[in-house]
Amino acid sequence: MEGSPGIGGRSGSDGSRAPPKIPPAMEELQSRLQETLDLLSSQELRSFRDHLKKVEPRVSQVKLELEGRSPSGLARLLAKQYYPPAAAKRVLVQVLEQLPRADLLPRWQSAAADGPVIPRKIPKRSYDCVEGELDRYDLSGRRKAFLMCVKRNRLGAHQDVLLMEDWLGQCQFENTLCIDPDKMELLGKITSFRDGLNEIKDDIGCCLVALMSHGEEGFIKMKDGEKVSLEGIFEMFNNKNCPALQEKPKIFIIQACRGERRDSGVETDDEPMDSDDGSEKRRLPTFSDYFIIYPTQADHVALRDPRTGSVMIKAMTDVFKQYGNKWHIADFFTKVNNRVVHREFNLRNEPIKVSLVMESTLTKFVYF
């Protein structure tokens, strides 16, 4: 079961998209690029984008239109695509020569531009000081998503599908849709989806499975009330059964109740183990690189509004609209949880509070 809350309060969004967190050296390159692009007129900036497509087609026209219309956005895009600085220097020189803006060439033709970027003095941030910082997962391969939703007897579920399809599209996922399945249909379609990943093993960057329906602890329910084990679905994508996803992120978004309990909230005052790795052949645990997000605590109800859709799905898309892909996925859902936890909900005229639950065996950072 899911509760349909009355929602108090409003969560604002200015619609802006903040840039993703980047290393200091790349940040310095981005800053230098913007210093140059800020000197271009609006017409020159348009010409710059046009020449860039001819000189170096690495940046797609779609990305240029979506992210490169302002000097700051274009600088950010170029820094990501042409890092290290030597590559950026080569492209900048060729494009500036065609504008022409000979007055801007010296800053990119100098020998210093070929060398490493020396960061300007910037405030020290905590993530700059972490030793052995985790790498990011390489998501340059295809991003595949499986989206299942039971709409029957779930008012607002159609809105969840629309929101999720839009979010997955913005995160560059290819989406397989499964609406109102029975148990055998779901298992058949998700098995086919998993087998498809194994067939294109080398081309996969990430997998995401979203399951939206009624549920109870450990199970999700189909349109006819039949139950499917979540553990069984998770197991289908483990390192044994889905070798295509070994050391690649497997994201599960579960929008379903986990029981009947309701949390009415409380009033608040405003005031090491040894290891022995002697094996020659590298091994992985059976379950690794998973990230699972639930809309509520174990044994508790989840919330869905008949007009706007599920509370978690709506908060996800609102946060992404405001902040884009700025954060690692765990930080992103922490922000989503912050928004959910501090909203006021009512279920049958009684106050109710929910908190998302994250489970992770990720070994690297995930940035969409």
Sheet holding 173-179, edge to edge: 173-179, 142-149, 204-212, 250-255, 290-294, 357-360
Contacts 24+ apart (CB under 8 A), 158-162: 159/307, 159/308, 159/309, 159/314, 160/212, 160/255, 160/304, 160/309, 160/310, 160/313, 161/212
Burial 281-292, CB ≥16 within 10 A → b, else e: eeeeeeebbbbb
Angstrom CA distances, 95 to 88, 109, 136, 307, stand at 11, 12, 31, 50
Tokens of 366: 């995930």
Q: Please name every residue paired with 300 in a beta bridge, in sequence order, or none if there are none.
A: 261
Q: Name the residue among 215, 247, 224 with its Cα closest to residue 233.
A: 215
CA–CA separation, 136 vs 365, rounded Å?
Answer: 4
Whether 214 is a known active-site residue: answer yes
Report the C-alpha dihedral over residues 119, 124, 127, 131, rounded to 10 degrees. 80
Please tell me which residue in 178, 242, 257, 300 is annotated as part of the active site.
257
Catalytic residue at 300?
no
Q: Record the tokens describing residue 188, joined without a space.
A: 């058949």
Tell me the β-bridge partners of 2.
302
One-letter amino acid identity for 292? Answer: I
List for the chain the helix, strand, coil content (%; round to 5).
40, 20, 40
Longest CA pairwise span in the chain (Å): 71
Using CA atoms, how far apart are residues 65 and 328, in angstroms rounded to an integer?
Answer: 25
Q: β-strands 344-347, 227-229: how paired?
A: unpaired
Number of H helices and E strands in the chain, helices first, is 11, 15
User: Which entry of 171, 207, 214, 300 is annotated as an active-site residue?
Assistant: 214
Residue 252, token pair as written in the block: 């599960």
Known catalytic residues are 214, 257
